[in-house]
Amino acid sequence: MSFYEVVSHYKNFDFEGFFSGVSSESVRQILAKDNINDRDFLALLAPAAQSHLEQMAEKARRLSLNHFGKAVLLYAPIYISNYCINRCAYCGFNHDNGISRKKLSMEEIEKEARELSKTGIRHVLLLTGESRKHSPADYITEAACVLRKHFDSVTIEVSPLMLEEYVKAAKSGVDGVTIYQETYDEQVYDEVHISGPKKDYRFRLDTPERACMANMRSVNVGALLGLSENWRREAFMTGMHANYLQDKYASTEVSVSFPRIRPHAGVFERVSGVSDIQLVQTVLAMRLFMPHVSQNISTREDADFRDNLIPLGINKFSAGSCTEVGGYSGEPATEAQFEISDGRSVDEVCEAILAKGYQPLFKNWMSI
């Protein structure tokens, strides 16, 4: 079975009809349960649940403390190439955007790693644009070997790879894969991915499972909120995807991210806004549905909003982020993939986490 079968099951599901049938009383009954199922999860994303956010928040806080304590794991992205052959309408790396392009050499990657490691960061997310010509699998694995000399954990967010390529990457020191489906709505997906390999919806959808099959320690999934008009459906399918992976690959740590679309190079006018309250509802519902799953919020969100999400279920935080290729070492910067909203340094983020009564964590595991 592939997750595509789950997606197909909900393809013609009447989400709006379901939401209209969710009452305040049914939400109260769901919140009284010790464990909730997929339909309960969907109900907690309904408009009727917004009047119960305080109760959802209290339960989410308790569950997060039970499973993660008061630790917030910090990581930082490191962009090593922004060449891309895809024409994705919403992305700054779009092949047609007239931006500066750069690919770092291994020496330049080493320099970036040295600079970033000075901040105390021990977990990194390696990113590239999607171009197998400029950033093939061998380039990724070689870069990972360089980064592992400076960091305890290397996760990759690159072009979807084949199973054997993920196996090779794992042997080189990669321990995690982040891959966003962007949107689970197959029609919207086809419309916003104009051309390029990324247009293949099914291949991308199956990518997290290939990473799990390669015995990656962690896999992170998510949808780019704002691409589709129905954010509730996107949140639901993200949770279902994470649940599918967790059930099928129990040895893999599954996590979920909640990126909202941000300004970037190029023009994309069909953004469907997702409000702060709606994002909070998503975070809370996800925590109640999957208490064991890590939840990540990046510097796409502003500082105050991120800080206030910590007690609500967020336990992974990017810090001191730079989304430009070569940006940490002071090399001539390329354009960023998107505008960041939280420009605080690692030290400033740590201070904010401590002020909330939580503990910033730089390292939560090591290879032996």
Query: Rounded CA gap, 246 and 243, in Å?
Result: 5
pLDDT tens-place string over residues 279-302: 999 999 999 999 999 999 988 899
| Mean pLDDT value across residues 76-103 | 87
Contact 135, 169 (CB under 8 A): no
pLDDT score at 22: 98
pLDDT at 30 over 90: yes
| Mean pLDDT value across residues 70-81 | 96
Contact 264, 337 (CB under 8 A): yes
The structure tokens listed for 208 are 């997290």
State the pLDDT confidence band at 266, using cuts at 50, 70 and 90. Answer: very low
State the pLDDT confidence band at 336, using cuts at 50, 70 and 90. Answer: low
pLDDT tens-place string over residues 97-146: 777 889 999 999 999 999 999 999 999 999 999 999 999 999 999 999 99
pLDDT score at 265: 44
State the pLDDT confidence band at 44, using cuts at 50, 70 and 90. Answer: very high
pLDDT score at 269: 55
Q: How many other β-carbons are positioned within 10 Å of the β-carbon of residue 270?
A: 14
pLDDT score at 200: 98
The structure tokens listed for 84 are 């891309």
- The label of the residue with tokens 């940006």 reads 327
The structure tokens listed for 75 are 């990581």
Considering only CA atoms, give the Rg of the chain.
Answer: 20
Q: Is the pTM of this model over 0.75?
A: yes
Query: Rounded CA gap, 156 and 175, in Å?
Result: 8
Residue-range domains of the chain with CATH = 3-21+58-361 (3.20.20.70)
The structure tokens listed for 86 are 């895809």
pLDDT tens-place string over residues 134-153: 999 999 999 999 999 999 99
State the pLDDT confidence band at 216, using cuts at 50, 70 and 90. Answer: very high
Q: State the DSSP string of 78-143.
A: EEEE-----EETT-TT-TTS-----B--HHHHHHHHHHHHTTT--EEEEEE-S-TTTS-HHHHHHH
53 class by beta-carbon count within 10 Å (0-12 exposed, 13-18 middle, 19+ buried): middle
pLDDT score at 268: 46
Reduced to 3 states (helix: H, G, I; strand: E, B; else coil), residue 178 is strand
